[in-house]
Amino acid sequence: MFWPDTISRKLGVEYPVIQAPMFGVSTVKMALAATKAGCLGSLALADLSADQSVELIRETRKLTDKPFAANIFVHQIPEVTDALKEKYSKTKQFIEQLAKDNGIEVHLPDFEEIRVNGYREQVDAIIEENCKILSFTFGNLEDQSIQKLKENGVILIGTCTSVKEALFLEKSGIDIICVQGIEAGGHRGSFEAENIPQIGGLSLLSQIFDQVNVPLIYAGGIYGARTLKAVKDLGAQGFQVGNLLLTSQESALLPFEKERLKKVTEDEIVLTKSFSGRYARGVKNQFIETVENSEYILPYPYQNKLTNALRKAAKALQNPEFVGIWVGQSIHQYSELSTEEILKNLIKESER
């Protein structure tokens, strides 16, 4: 049998293929399409409020009775200080002026208007909504949340980008670990926002396989049967796919963003903190080149919240120079087929 069945049996799906939770790109429709392919759909709840999370969970459940994962951010929220507020004000002024100089009129929120949500209320909502699979990124859940979720029969999938993080997740009792190499697109799940581990996925997977005993999902750079088979040979029992789905029918990307992706070259893909305050892999543009090495980058999630209105305004103008278009290192023929078809084709190709 080609497919390892440890993870698929645990998750209640036909294939151990997971649609990556890509906040801002993946949608309820994408998660549903993944379930139709016999894979695990993921609902990207990020750091939404508990009420917003409940709304999306209920919308998904109305449309399918198949398993899907809720995915949340578990980052540490920086302490609010006078120095942070002062830097926020300067960064806001700089970015508003940069936008204006480039024909984008936008009012960014004042510091007091920013709402930063922790994850504990989401955990309670996930339990109340009877979600049975929870994946998370940017750190680990606190012990109390882990215990509460396990008492309610929730399978936990944590994300790691180093051996140290993997061992920490295993020791905490996390059921499945998603190993994410540096080639992955968008934000990787590193526990720290600074000094992220710069380890290639194949090397990282091999090391973690030798040191932990829980089942492993691999994410980062899977774009066809050969890459999927390679990580399977290195010990992966599950396969998370995101980059393949960026321009799918169900993707939230707009047509001009999809067209930009189809023209991307390898030298245009960079790691940047400019949009969010955490390293993310995406397509280099004017905003990144201007802000990346400047003093105008706030700690995550404040930079992310601050630039959100700019990205929305740039999207409305179809201006690719001021939006974050996230993409992994594995450039391929970006397909606009449905997520269901793309995943089914990957499965067929892998089984040949």
The pLDDT tens digits for 114-130 are: 999 889 999 999 999 99
CB 32 within 8 A of CB 66: no
| pLDDT tens digits, one per residue of 49-65 | 999 999 999 999 999 99
Q: Are residues 73 and 129 in the same domain?
A: yes
CB 240 within 8 A of CB 218: yes
Domain presence at residue 167:
yes
| pLDDT tens digits, one per residue of 317-336 | 999 999 999 999 999 899 99
pLDDT category at 194 given cuts 50, 70, 90 is confident
Q: Quick one: tokens of 169?
A: 């997740």
- What would you measure as the largest C-alpha separation in the chain, in angstroms? 60
Domain presence at residue 258:
no
Q: Are residues 148 and 198 in the same domain?
A: yes
Q: What is the mean pLDDT of residues 147-160?
A: 98
Helix axes 50-63, 120-128, angle to 10 degrees: 30
Q: Quick one: tokens of 224?
A: 């066809």
Residue 133 pLDDT: 98
Nearest to 4 by CA among 231, 196, 246: 231
The domain tally of the chain equals 2
Domain presence at residue 62:
yes
Residue 76 pLDDT: 87
At residue 1, does pLDDT exceed 80?
A: no
Domain presence at residue 28:
yes
Q: How far apart are CA 261 and CA 175, in angstroms?
A: 35
Domain presence at residue 259:
no
Helix axes 28-36, 50-63, angle to 10 degrees: 40
At residue 84, does pLDDT exceed 90?
A: yes
CATH number of the domain where residue 18 is located: 3.20.20.70
Q: Are residues 206 and 102 in the same domain?
A: no
CB 179 within 8 A of CB 218: yes
Q: Are residues 68 and 193 in the same domain?
A: yes
- H or E element at residue 241: strand 238-241
Q: Are residues 68 and 142 in the same domain?
A: yes
- SS3 of residue 68 by DSSP: strand
Question: Which backbone phi and psi does 302 adopt, to 5 degrees?
Answer: -70, -40
What percentage of the chain has pLDDT greater than the value 90?
Answer: 95
Q: Quick one: tokens of 135?
A: 């994946």
Q: Are residues 139 and 237 in the same domain?
A: yes
Q: Are residues 73 and 100 in the same domain?
A: no
Domain presence at residue 173:
yes
Domain presence at residue 42:
yes
Domain carrying residue 88: 80-115+265-326
Residue 261 pLDDT: 97
Taking the model in full, what pTM does it have?
0.97
pLDDT category at 152 given cuts 50, 70, 90 is very high
Please return the burial class of 265, using the count of CB atoms within 10 Å of its CB with bins 0-12, 13-18 and 19+: exposed
Q: Are residues 207 and 280 in the same domain?
A: no
Q: Are residues 220 and 247 in the same domain?
A: yes
Question: Which backbone phi and psi does 180 adopt, to 5 degrees?
Answer: -120, 115
At residue 310, does pLDDT exceed 90?
A: yes
Q: Are residues 63 and 91 in the same domain?
A: no
- H or E element at residue 239: strand 238-241
Q: Are residues 191 and 309 in the same domain?
A: no
Q: Are residues 147 and 169 in the same domain?
A: yes
Q: How far apart are CA 264 and CA 326, in angstroms?
A: 11
Nearest to 35 by CA among 21, 17, 57: 17
Domain presence at residue 257:
no
Nearest to 133 by CA among 109, 153, 160, 108: 153
Q: Quick one: tokens of 289?
A: 């080149």
Q: How many residues does the chain have?
A: 352
| Averaged confidence pLDDT in the chain | 97
